[in-house]
Structure 1
Amino acid sequence: MPGDSSVNFSVLHRICKLVVLLCFLHIAVTVVFYVRSFDFRVAFVQNQQSNYNIPMFRNTNRVVSSGLEPAKEEKVLEQPVKKLEKCPETSPLLGVRENGAGPVSLETGAFTAGTSSLTSTRVNKLSRKTFRHRDHRAQPYNRATPENRVCGEAGPSGITHTTRLQNSTPPHNDQDTVRSLTILERLSSIDLPEQQKPGALYNSGESEPIFISGPATSPMGPLRVEFNFSVDLELVKKENPNVQPGGRFKPKDCEALQKVAIIIAFRYREEHLKYWLHYLHPILQRQQLDYGVYVIKQDGNDTFNKCRLLNTGYAEALKEYDYNCFVFNDVDVIPMDDRNTYKCFSQPRHLAVSLDKFNFRLPYVQCFGGATSLSKEQYLKINGFPNNYWGWGGEDDDIYNRVASKGMSISRPTGEIGKCRMIRHNRDKMNDPNPQRFNRIAHTRETMYKDGINSLKYQVLSIQKLDLFTTITVDVGKP
């Protein structure tokens, strides 16, 4: 019995030693892995910085505008680095509009939808002092001068322009400051062709700014449209001093997204036209379009032919300018949202989606009237519009059939953005419903190749370049 107790105690003693040894080993392994894990995170951050060519700003002497203590300064500077795992799709180099537009696209230079916390005032003296875009240097200048503007910043006439780097007072939001700085320095290392650098502020050796594309959308949003007041065209002209004779406007400091001819078929609607000019000129300028307004007036008192007038407007507008987009707008239809851009898209665009006349609903899927846009290629693909619709009704459905027969679809904004108001009015004289419209709609596919822009006949009687629009009076014949 005593011998057995000695053996059992010896075994127990060895087991205890083994357990203690395993505990120490476990602690050692835990410490080693913890240290290795810590080292790995540091290495990862360093590798991440090297990939983006962004140095770690641990030198507190480098940042002097925030007023933080060194320890707090270092902590703030490390935070934005963690967010740079992917290259951002947009660049804050030119700032964003403080009234709601998104940042400038790095690829196109155009404004994107959405909002950003980075504004022009946050790209402050710090970022301008540190940032050097290749051989180009941001020079201080007077913000008030027109030549210092690019599309996106609000100008004296209410037109929006993009702001460049400003010599403004450093903001108190230091995290945004550092985020601006780090992104700006990363952009400085991107090797882009000269003509594709949205951030190149000046040409080499010159002070001439490089133009960028205008914004994709206007930042104004919903508008209040009323018709309970009289419109003075002289006042409209004073409120739109940048509109040239003939209703032409072209952004001075940027390249417009498209060249747009806006064509209105017209007769007996002088008051409606005044409202249209009052509301649309400011909208179109805020959308930074290179545009012209053409009012095609049918001469005489014979039956009205809307589509023949629209085809005439297309042909006459191209004689004046190299337009690549055409908007066909009824004179009594006014958009209620700035974001309903009067430009062309990859598919024919129906702009007047939600009319107040129909309780702001699309009356039927095939509806394609009120306000539409087609590119030059799309227009020619469907052979323009039919010339044989005399009187009211049917032509819009015929155009829809032409679009569908060519395998194209109708593009529309959302019902909210596509809201429009229609001016209430009685039907015009000599514009009675077309009794043949249903039969013609049924045979669109057979007639569209011989009835359209290729068969258009008209006679121009006069062309007047007025202050806010070009009026072309034509004789389109009789039914």
Structure 2
Amino acid sequence: MDIVNGVRENGAGPVSLETGAFTAGTSSLTSTRVNKLSRKTFRHRDHRAQPYNRATPENRVCGEAGPSGITHTTRLQNSTPPHNDQDTVRSLTILERLSSIDLPEQQKPGALYNSGESEPIFISGPATSPMGPLRVEFNFSVDLELVKKENPNVQPGGRFKPKDCEALQKVAIIIAFRYREEHLKYWLHYLHPILQRQQLDYGVYVIKQDGNDTFNKCRLLNTGYAEALKEYDYNCFVFNDVDVIPMDDRNTYKCFSQPRHLAVSLDKFNFRLPYVQCFGGATSLSKEQYLKINGFPNNYWGWGGEDDDIYNRVASKGMSISRPTGEIGKCRMIRHNRDKMNDPNPQRFNRIAHTRETMYKDGINSLKYQVLSIQKLDLFTTITVDVGKP
């Protein structure tokens, strides 16, 4: 039996991803009807739709109506040789060499990517169901007033909650920020419609580092986690680089049974996962998963290494990295020069090699910051903070 997105290979019914056990009575479709549909809906392993549970609008759970992207899990202990922190150091060294090479584009920027595979068939669902591959380009100016008009259901502070269904998760999307106003405009332009189609109960938090001292991405992300919880009872946290935009809205911004790597295949790396330990760009962790690894490291000042430290934390706790398929996990990155005061961290390789020794005393339990201001803008909440100096 092959389990993908909680669906049996033969389409007979939902299966628990945690136990592999058949879950009886969760779909009102008869087995005959499902088996009949399975020849169309499940004929290709990369586009399977979960059987729809026909519920009334009053009690319908968001996300019942269509696929949220195919999940496969990379088991850390079984992927390539046994993992240790030195493996991550070697992989990061290779990645930095690749980053300096301009790889050819497979298709022109902004093209509508189509793998030629069969499209998923929606058994039922609202008009706001995910659309699939999206055109993402950065050759135009974004007017935030227009973005607001196009997203009238987004409330001040960047909050949205579905009206016709109950979201299973409360998602805080956290962006570490400085000097990237134009990138943020593109992110808001593309992501708000995507997140609403995914029927998420979500809020967008932009955590801005004050001053011109060396940038500290993870300290800002930890701050976003702490501040978001003061406002709402979030149980899922998406950490998104401001310059990373998903190209398929079936790549669901929610949390899974294992930490989720959302930005699987970036155009920067020719739409390939650069190395198996890669865990950056856009990721999601449940509150429980985040606390299990003590949040993120606070001692990475400047560019590089923090994403790999987080990977080491996940691995050390026996968790796995789940990912959508490379096709659904495609993302575009806005090309830009490295920011001022964000030079490569010369200590990053040494720190990565000692993650397991430092993670228990360096994380959310040692976070220090000072909130300077909080602004509830139309499309996001911006929190300006002083995170100190190296």
Would you say same fold, with TM above 0.5? yes
Mapped partners of 1:393, 1:277: distance in 2: 25
Which shifted more, 256-265 or 217-226?
217-226
Mapped partners of 1:363, 1:167: distance in 2: 18
1:219 CA displacement: 2.9
Aligned in 2, Cα 1:425/1:164: closer, same or farther, shift over 3 Å? closer
Q: Is the 8 A contact 1:96 1:119 kept in 2?
A: no
Q: Is the 8 A contact 2:29 2:51 kept in 1?
A: no
Q: Which residue of 2 is the match for residue 111 of structure 1? A: 22
Mapped partners of 2:110, 2:340: distance in 1: 57
Which shifted more, 195-204 or 320-329?
195-204
1:154 CA displacement: 11
Mapped partners of 1:142, 1:108: distance in 2: 21
Mapped partners of 1:315, 1:219: distance in 2: 30
Does the residue aligned with 1:153 lie in a helix, a strand or coil?
A: coil
1:303 CA displacement: 0.1
Aligned in 2, Cα 1:334/1:191: closer, same or farther, shift over 3 Å? closer
Q: Is the 8 A contact 2:60 2:164 kept in 1?
A: yes
Q: Is the 8 A contact 1:283 1:338 kept in 2?
A: yes
1:451 CA displacement: 0.2
Which shifted more, 101-110 or 330-339?
101-110
Mapped partners of 2:179, 2:10: distance in 1: 39
Mapped partners of 1:351, 1:312: distance in 2: 21
Q: Is the 8 A contact 2:105 2:270 kept in 1?
A: no
Question: Higher relative contact order at CA 8 Å, sep ≥6: structure 1 or structure 2?
Answer: 2
Mapped partners of 2:194, 2:241: distance in 1: 16
TM-score calculated relative to the size of structure 1: 0.58
Q: 1:437 aligns with which of 339, 342, 348?
A: 348
1:195 CA displacement: 50
Aligned in 2, Cα 1:238/1:437: closer, same or farther, shift over 3 Å? same
Mapped partners of 2:218, 2:12: distance in 1: 37
**Residue-by-residue CA offset, 1:163-216 (whole Å, 9 max, x unaligned):** 999999999999999999999999999999999999999999999999999999
Mapped partners of 2:347, 2:97: distance in 1: 65
Identity %: 100
Aligned in 2, Cα 1:432/1:168: closer, same or farther, shift over 3 Å? closer
Mapped partners of 2:282, 2:46: distance in 1: 47
Mapped partners of 1:192, 1:300: distance in 2: 35
TM-score calculated relative to the size of structure 2: 0.70
**Residue-by-residue CA offset, 1:385-408 (whole Å, 9 max, x unaligned):** 000000000000000000000000
Mapped partners of 2:79, 2:270: distance in 1: 48
Mapped partners of 1:191, 1:359: distance in 2: 9
Aligned in 2, Cα 1:204/1:327: closer, same or farther, shift over 3 Å? closer
Does the residue aligned with 2:208 lie in a helix, a strand or coil?
A: strand
Q: Which residue of 2 is the match for residue 174 of structure 1? A: 85
1:252 CA displacement: 1.1
Mapped partners of 1:187, 1:123: distance in 2: 46
Aligned in 2, Cα 1:155/1:252: closer, same or farther, shift over 3 Å? farther
Does the residue aligned with 1:148 lie in a helix, a strand or coil?
A: coil
Q: Is the 8 A contact 2:263 2:280 kept in 1?
A: yes
Aligned in 2, Cα 1:164/1:129: closer, same or farther, shift over 3 Å? farther
Which shifted more, 335-344 or 141-150?
141-150
Over alpha carbons, which structure has the higher Rg?
Answer: 1
Q: Any unmatched runs of 5+ in structure 1?
A: 1-94
Do residues 233 (structure 1) and 144 (structure 2) align?
yes
Q: Is the 8 A contact 1:134 1:188 kept in 2?
A: no
Aligned in 2, Cα 1:426/1:255: closer, same or farther, shift over 3 Å? same
Q: Is the 8 A contact 1:294 1:470 kept in 2?
A: yes
Aligned in 2, Cα 1:232/1:253: closer, same or farther, shift over 3 Å? same
Question: RMSD in angstroms over aligned alpha carbons?
Answer: 17.5
1:254 CA displacement: 1.1
Which shifted more, 169-178 or 134-143?
169-178
Mapped partners of 1:393, 1:177: distance in 2: 12
Q: Which residue of 1 is the match for residue 129 of structure 2? A: 218
1:453 CA displacement: 0.2
Q: Is the 8 A contact 2:11 2:42 kept in 1?
A: no
Which shifted more, 249-258 or 457-466?
249-258
Mapped partners of 2:272, 2:65: distance in 1: 34
Q: Which residue of 1 is the match for residue 35 of structure 2? A: 124
1:253 CA displacement: 1.7
Mapped partners of 1:154, 1:305: distance in 2: 40
Mapped partners of 2:101, 2:32: distance in 1: 24
Does the residue aligned with 1:105 lie in a helix, a strand or coil?
A: coil
**Residue-by-residue CA offset, 1:140-173 (whole Å, 9 max, x unaligned):** 9999999999968999999999999999999999
Mapped partners of 1:432, 1:136: distance in 2: 41
**Residue-by-residue CA offset, 1:336-381 (whole Å, 9 max, x unaligned):** 0011000000000000000000000000000000000000000000
Mapped partners of 2:28, 2:99: distance in 1: 21
Mapped partners of 1:184, 1:123: distance in 2: 45
Number of aligned residue pairs: give it: 385
Which shifted more, 450-459 or 174-183?
174-183
Mapped partners of 1:391, 1:180: distance in 2: 19
Mapped partners of 2:140, 2:153: distance in 1: 24
Q: Is the 8 A contact 1:461 1:472 kept in 2?
A: yes
More helix by share: 1
1:103 CA displacement: 12
Q: Is the 8 A contact 2:66 2:123 kept in 1?
A: no
Does the residue aligned with 2:120 lie in a helix, a strand or coil?
A: coil
Aligned in 2, Cα 1:157/1:339: closer, same or farther, shift over 3 Å? closer
1:20-169 mapped onto 2 (5 Å cutoff): none
Does the residue aligned with 2:324 lie in a helix, a strand or coil?
A: coil
Q: Is the 8 A contact 2:294 2:363 kept in 1?
A: yes
Aligned in 2, Cα 1:353/1:153: closer, same or farther, shift over 3 Å? closer
Aligned in 2, Cα 1:305/1:214: closer, same or farther, shift over 3 Å? farther
Q: Is the 8 A contact 1:101 1:115 kept in 2?
A: no
